[in-house]
Amino acid sequence: MKFPRNIPLLALCLVFGGLLWQALLQMPPHPGLLASVDHRLEESGVSHGVTAVLLNFRGYDTLFEIGVLLLALISVWSLPDDDAREATPPAGLVKTAYLRVMGPLMLVFAGYLLWIGSRAPGGAFQAGAVLAAVAVLMQVSGHSRGEKRDTVWFRCALAAGFLVFTLVAFGCVLRGAAVLEYPAGKAGGWILAIESAGMVSIGLVLAELFRGHAPAILQPGRRK
Protein backbone atom coordinates (compact mmCIF):
# COMPACT_ATOMS: atom_id res chain seq x y z
CA MET A 1 0.00 0.00 0.00
CA LYS A 2 1.52 3.29 -0.97
CA PHE A 3 -0.85 5.33 1.18
CA PRO A 4 0.11 7.39 3.12
CA ARG A 5 2.95 8.54 0.97
CA ASN A 6 3.64 11.75 2.83
CA ILE A 7 2.77 11.60 6.49
CA PRO A 8 3.50 15.25 7.43
CA LEU A 9 1.27 16.38 4.54
CA LEU A 10 -1.44 14.00 5.67
CA ALA A 11 -1.27 15.38 9.20
CA LEU A 12 -1.45 18.92 7.88
CA CYS A 13 -4.46 18.08 5.71
CA LEU A 14 -6.26 16.38 8.59
CA VAL A 15 -5.68 19.39 10.83
CA PHE A 16 -6.95 21.65 8.06
CA GLY A 17 -9.97 19.38 7.66
CA GLY A 18 -10.75 19.56 11.34
CA LEU A 19 -10.56 23.34 11.33
CA LEU A 20 -12.74 23.47 8.22
CA TRP A 21 -15.39 21.27 9.84
CA GLN A 22 -15.35 23.43 12.95
CA ALA A 23 -15.73 26.60 10.93
CA LEU A 24 -18.53 25.21 8.78
CA LEU A 25 -20.53 23.81 11.67
CA GLN A 26 -20.38 27.08 13.53
CA MET A 27 -21.92 29.14 10.74
CA PRO A 28 -25.26 30.56 11.87
CA PRO A 29 -28.38 30.10 9.75
CA HIS A 30 -28.85 32.98 7.38
CA PRO A 31 -31.26 33.35 4.46
CA GLY A 32 -28.60 34.91 2.28
CA LEU A 33 -29.79 36.98 -0.66
CA LEU A 34 -33.08 35.12 -1.12
CA ALA A 35 -35.12 38.13 -0.03
CA SER A 36 -33.31 40.52 -2.37
CA VAL A 37 -33.76 38.18 -5.33
CA ASP A 38 -37.45 37.56 -4.62
CA HIS A 39 -38.03 41.28 -4.23
CA ARG A 40 -37.05 42.05 -7.84
CA LEU A 41 -37.95 38.74 -9.45
CA GLU A 42 -40.90 40.04 -11.50
CA GLU A 43 -38.74 42.63 -13.21
CA SER A 44 -36.13 40.11 -14.20
CA GLY A 45 -38.13 38.54 -17.03
CA VAL A 46 -38.00 35.00 -15.64
CA SER A 47 -39.70 33.41 -12.69
CA HIS A 48 -36.91 31.21 -11.36
CA GLY A 49 -34.50 32.79 -8.90
CA VAL A 50 -31.35 31.03 -10.08
CA THR A 51 -31.98 31.85 -13.75
CA ALA A 52 -32.75 35.46 -12.87
CA VAL A 53 -29.48 35.79 -10.99
CA LEU A 54 -27.52 33.98 -13.70
CA LEU A 55 -28.80 35.93 -16.68
CA ASN A 56 -30.00 39.21 -15.28
CA PHE A 57 -28.76 40.27 -11.86
CA ARG A 58 -25.31 38.72 -12.27
CA GLY A 59 -25.34 38.46 -16.04
CA TYR A 60 -21.85 39.89 -16.34
CA ASP A 61 -20.40 36.78 -14.69
CA THR A 62 -22.27 34.53 -17.09
CA LEU A 63 -21.03 36.54 -20.05
CA PHE A 64 -17.44 35.90 -19.12
CA GLU A 65 -18.19 32.32 -18.19
CA ILE A 66 -19.08 31.74 -21.84
CA GLY A 67 -15.91 33.64 -22.72
CA VAL A 68 -13.88 31.27 -20.56
CA LEU A 69 -15.35 28.34 -22.51
CA LEU A 70 -14.08 29.89 -25.74
CA LEU A 71 -10.71 30.65 -24.17
CA ALA A 72 -10.30 27.04 -23.07
CA LEU A 73 -11.21 25.86 -26.56
CA ILE A 74 -8.64 28.15 -28.15
CA SER A 75 -6.02 26.90 -25.68
CA VAL A 76 -6.79 23.27 -26.43
CA TRP A 77 -6.81 23.91 -30.16
CA SER A 78 -3.53 25.80 -30.17
CA LEU A 79 -1.55 22.90 -28.76
CA PRO A 80 -0.23 20.50 -31.39
CA ASP A 81 -1.89 17.11 -31.64
CA ASP A 82 -0.59 13.66 -31.03
CA ASP A 83 -1.23 11.91 -34.30
CA ALA A 84 -2.27 8.68 -32.66
CA ARG A 85 -5.38 10.25 -31.22
CA GLU A 86 -6.97 11.39 -34.43
CA ALA A 87 -8.18 7.94 -35.42
CA THR A 88 -11.87 7.48 -34.73
CA PRO A 89 -12.91 4.29 -32.98
CA PRO A 90 -14.90 1.75 -34.99
CA ALA A 91 -18.66 2.07 -34.70
CA GLY A 92 -19.75 -0.15 -31.83
CA LEU A 93 -23.01 -2.08 -31.98
CA VAL A 94 -24.21 -1.35 -28.47
CA LYS A 95 -23.17 2.29 -28.56
CA THR A 96 -24.79 2.82 -31.95
CA ALA A 97 -28.04 1.27 -30.79
CA TYR A 98 -27.96 3.37 -27.66
CA LEU A 99 -27.28 6.48 -29.69
CA ARG A 100 -30.16 5.70 -32.01
CA VAL A 101 -32.58 5.49 -29.12
CA MET A 102 -31.21 8.12 -26.79
CA GLY A 103 -29.92 10.67 -29.27
CA PRO A 104 -33.29 12.08 -30.38
CA LEU A 105 -34.63 11.87 -26.84
CA MET A 106 -31.68 13.86 -25.56
CA LEU A 107 -32.11 16.49 -28.24
CA VAL A 108 -35.75 16.95 -27.26
CA PHE A 109 -34.77 17.02 -23.62
CA ALA A 110 -32.21 19.72 -24.29
CA GLY A 111 -34.89 21.85 -25.90
CA TYR A 112 -37.13 21.24 -22.90
CA LEU A 113 -34.38 22.24 -20.48
CA LEU A 114 -33.76 25.45 -22.40
CA TRP A 115 -37.44 26.38 -22.33
CA ILE A 116 -38.20 25.41 -18.75
CA GLY A 117 -35.23 27.42 -17.45
CA SER A 118 -37.40 30.46 -16.95
CA ARG A 119 -39.61 28.67 -14.47
CA ALA A 120 -37.63 25.75 -13.04
CA PRO A 121 -34.02 24.53 -12.90
CA GLY A 122 -32.76 24.56 -16.45
CA GLY A 123 -31.45 27.04 -18.98
CA ALA A 124 -28.66 27.40 -21.48
CA PHE A 125 -25.87 25.60 -19.62
CA GLN A 126 -27.90 22.58 -18.69
CA ALA A 127 -29.32 22.25 -22.21
CA GLY A 128 -25.85 22.79 -23.70
CA ALA A 129 -24.45 20.06 -21.50
CA VAL A 130 -27.08 17.59 -22.78
CA LEU A 131 -26.26 18.57 -26.37
CA ALA A 132 -22.59 18.02 -25.64
CA ALA A 133 -23.45 14.61 -24.23
CA VAL A 134 -25.09 13.67 -27.55
CA ALA A 135 -21.99 14.80 -29.40
CA VAL A 136 -19.72 12.87 -27.03
CA LEU A 137 -21.85 9.75 -27.55
CA MET A 138 -21.41 10.18 -31.28
CA GLN A 139 -17.66 10.60 -30.95
CA VAL A 140 -17.26 7.64 -28.65
CA SER A 141 -19.34 5.34 -30.84
CA GLY A 142 -17.39 6.22 -33.96
CA HIS A 143 -20.01 8.29 -35.75
CA SER A 144 -18.27 11.64 -35.67
CA ARG A 145 -15.29 12.07 -37.95
CA GLY A 146 -15.28 15.81 -37.52
CA GLU A 147 -15.07 16.78 -41.18
CA LYS A 148 -17.78 19.43 -40.94
CA ARG A 149 -15.60 21.37 -38.54
CA ASP A 150 -13.62 22.84 -41.40
CA THR A 151 -16.33 25.29 -42.41
CA VAL A 152 -16.54 28.86 -41.23
CA TRP A 153 -20.12 28.21 -40.05
CA PHE A 154 -18.83 25.85 -37.42
CA ARG A 155 -16.60 28.52 -35.97
CA CYS A 156 -19.48 31.00 -36.16
CA ALA A 157 -21.64 28.59 -34.19
CA LEU A 158 -18.91 28.20 -31.58
CA ALA A 159 -18.69 31.94 -31.12
CA ALA A 160 -22.41 32.67 -31.43
CA GLY A 161 -23.23 32.42 -27.73
CA PHE A 162 -20.56 34.87 -26.64
CA LEU A 163 -21.28 37.15 -29.58
CA VAL A 164 -25.04 37.36 -29.00
CA PHE A 165 -24.59 37.90 -25.28
CA THR A 166 -22.00 40.64 -25.84
CA LEU A 167 -24.11 42.38 -28.48
CA VAL A 168 -27.22 42.34 -26.30
CA ALA A 169 -25.35 43.36 -23.17
CA PHE A 170 -23.46 46.26 -24.69
CA GLY A 171 -26.26 47.09 -27.10
CA CYS A 172 -28.27 48.18 -24.09
CA VAL A 173 -25.93 51.16 -23.87
CA LEU A 174 -27.26 52.39 -27.24
CA ARG A 175 -30.65 52.90 -25.62
CA GLY A 176 -29.06 55.03 -22.98
CA ALA A 177 -29.29 52.30 -20.33
CA ALA A 178 -26.43 50.67 -18.47
CA VAL A 179 -24.63 47.58 -19.71
CA LEU A 180 -26.92 44.54 -19.38
CA GLU A 181 -29.90 46.66 -18.40
CA TYR A 182 -32.55 44.97 -20.49
CA PRO A 183 -35.60 46.96 -21.72
CA ALA A 184 -38.29 46.98 -19.05
CA GLY A 185 -40.91 44.30 -19.65
CA LYS A 186 -39.01 42.68 -22.52
CA ALA A 187 -36.19 41.17 -20.52
CA GLY A 188 -37.63 37.67 -20.84
CA GLY A 189 -37.40 37.68 -24.65
CA TRP A 190 -33.83 38.91 -24.69
CA ILE A 191 -32.86 36.35 -22.07
CA LEU A 192 -34.39 33.60 -24.21
CA ALA A 193 -32.44 34.80 -27.25
CA ILE A 194 -29.20 34.85 -25.28
CA GLU A 195 -29.89 31.43 -23.83
CA SER A 196 -30.72 29.89 -27.22
CA ALA A 197 -27.50 31.06 -28.83
CA GLY A 198 -25.68 30.11 -25.66
CA MET A 199 -27.08 26.58 -25.68
CA VAL A 200 -25.78 25.88 -29.18
CA SER A 201 -22.39 27.40 -28.43
CA ILE A 202 -21.95 25.69 -25.09
CA GLY A 203 -22.85 22.29 -26.49
CA LEU A 204 -20.45 22.63 -29.41
CA VAL A 205 -17.60 24.01 -27.29
CA LEU A 206 -17.92 21.24 -24.70
CA ALA A 207 -18.01 18.62 -27.44
CA GLU A 208 -14.89 20.09 -29.02
CA LEU A 209 -13.13 20.21 -25.65
CA PHE A 210 -13.83 16.50 -25.40
CA ARG A 211 -12.52 15.80 -28.87
CA GLY A 212 -9.34 17.65 -28.01
CA HIS A 213 -7.79 18.30 -31.41
CA ALA A 214 -8.26 21.18 -33.78
CA PRO A 215 -10.05 20.80 -37.12
CA ALA A 216 -7.79 20.09 -40.05
CA ILE A 217 -8.13 23.56 -41.50
CA LEU A 218 -6.70 25.15 -38.36
CA GLN A 219 -3.76 22.84 -37.86
CA PRO A 220 -0.35 24.21 -38.74
CA GLY A 221 1.16 22.92 -41.93
CA ARG A 222 -2.08 21.60 -43.30
CA ARG A 223 -3.77 24.83 -44.27
CA LYS A 224 -5.52 24.35 -47.62
Partner 1 sequence: MNSATLFLLTGGFLVVVGLYHLLGVPSVFRKILAANVLGAGIFMILIALAARQPDVAPDPMPHTMVLTGIVVSVCATAVALKLICRLHAITGDDELPERGEPSDGKH
75 lies in the binding site for partner 1 (CB under 8 A): yes
Closest distance to partner 1 from the beta carbon of 86 (Å): 12
Q: What phi and psi, each to the nearest 5 degrees, are found at residue 58?
A: -120, 40
* 164-193 binders of partner 1 (CB under 8 A): none
CA-based end-to-end distance of the chain = 54
In the complex with partner 1, the residue whose CB is nearer, 25 or 94, is 25
Give me the DSSP letters along 12-71.
HHHHHHHHHHHHHHTPPP--TTHHHHHHTGGGGSSS-HHHHIIIIITHHHHHHHHHHHHH
Any contact of residue 152 with partner 1 (CB under 8 A)?
no
CA 209, CA 207: separation in Å to the nearest integer? 5
Residue among 1, 25, 39, 155 that touches partner 1 (CB under 8 A): 25
- 47 binds partner 1 per the rule CB under 8 A: no
CB of 82 to partner 1, least distance (A): 5
Residue from 61, 105, 119, 145 touching partner 1 (CB under 8 A): that is 61
Contact between 34 and partner 1 per CB under 8 A: yes
Shortest distance, position 193 Cβ to partner 1, whole Å: 20
